[in-house]
Structure 1
Amino acid sequence: MRDKDVRILWISGKSYQLGDEIAKHKHKFCQLQFFMSGSEQLTYDGQLIDLKKNHLFIVFEGTSHGYVFLQGSTVLDIKFVVESGLYEIIRPVLECRDFYIDAPMLLMIIQQLHTAATLGGCELGEVRPLFMDSLLKLLLLGLYQEQIERQPFAYVEPLFTKTQDNSKIKSMIDYLTNHYAEEIRLEDLSEHFHFSESYITRIFRDAIQLTPNQVLQEIRLNRGMSLLKSTNYSVERIAQSVGWSFNYFSRVFKRQKGMTPTDYRNMKQTIVDGLILSKDFDLSLEPTTEKLS
């Protein structure tokens, strides 16, 4: 018994050594890599992409790729096929990007897949393949939803002026979106994209009236807000996960949103609590629909 939309062909939780290399190749199925630890340099359709811990990349079918490991690494590696309907939906959003994964739900699914790849799971019997297919589909859909919610250009798109540099800026914003948890300096953007620091600053200001650092700050703040709403992580842990100290995160949050991170979380939790039944809920009652019309 297998899932009708996603089917795993091969799954591994293998460890690699520094210098291990896979030559460029293509295949007629998709491949997903998630780094439990370590790093590699991926060559994907002529691009060089460095993947590190908590980074995920999807290689879609028919695309040339190869990689070399930059240090000892443990990788969740899945070869799979996707039904055409789902394939057409997810490919435009998930293709040719490396994703930094910190959402608890996605990390939990990844850990379950890694456990299945390394420890087996014979107790599931005949439904084990279906269970693993379903986990992968849930991961792909969750990743898709994450990217839709975190569209890197959503808040700057209205600011764009017509300039030939827009594609360059969008590539850099995309990079900031997927590396916000790391220490990123203007010098790093300059080195990665092979432009001078002054040129990068100028084209950002000309196109969106913001500096790269202001864009990075907005990305980190929005991600922090999302984690405050969707997790029980402490404010300190959330601050660290988006690349800030607790004090700096709290200060920026209060300045931008007019409330502390804790007050924001409590406000959002109050909204959610209205949907959750209390222990003494009367089963004979029905929910009101007046506000839904």
Structure 2
Amino acid sequence: MPQTYLNADLHCHSVVSDGTLTPEQLAQRAAARGVELWSLTDHDEVGGQHRASDAARAAGMDYLTGTEISVSFAGSTVHIVGLGFDADDAALTQGLYDTRNGRGPRAREMARQLELSGIAGAYEGALRHAGNPELISRTHFARYLVETGVCSDTYEVFRRYLTEGKPGYVPHTWASLRDAVHWITNAGGVAVIAHPARYDFSPNLEYALFSEFKQLGGQGVEVITGSHRPAEYLTYADMAREFELAASRGSDFHSPDESQIDLGELPYLPAHLTPVWELLQERIQRA
């Protein structure tokens, strides 16, 4: 079977960051849905990697280590996925720790602003939904606001409260693009631009992101992902070819109740692309 037709899912989240399932539950779900190569990519965290690897291989899947690093670029937050790195690399783990460290003060300020809008107890409520308190995020606040009936679903929460210009939105300065790419590559992995269509950049700004990423040593881009529409698959397949980047594929699965697409259900990569896993054959942990 051609490498582009591998059922790989290289982007999802567990309770270690802002997902609702454990690494073991995710591995079982992925395997049951036909995933052959899997990666757990928790936000700014590698604490679930050994559990995920063990569970994946026990379920009969090959595994690549993963994380999703929050990066500040041109005044916006961009996500860089790392794949196939040494999960115990000291510089990477320290960098991710430093990136996580700003989430606590940010969360308290989000709660203060929500309280001014008449929503009390948001910090404590969000914390109940956070499997890892160091990684309390907007998603955890969203789940609390749904739980308390303020909004009907998490998409409504983000629209009304947690995007720029809305009460409850607090910007944060994350890692630099340079730092994220270097942490990943110096730990033996491959850096990948996550879900590029989500950033709503102008063509010039998107070109700047891809150019700087490539110059820094980035090697991949998510072409097929849960937040891309079919036309965007083709757009970013073209971008992958233009910048000579490998193509990745991942659902960005967080929860059975919230995610747009389930593990293993994405279409295959378009033909005539280099799958990112071809760059990582020696880093794949085999079932």
**How high is the TM-score relative to the length of structure 1?**
0.31
Higher relative contact order (CA 8 A, sep 6+): 2
Q: Give 1 or 2: higher helix fraction.
A: 1
Greater C-alpha Rg: 1
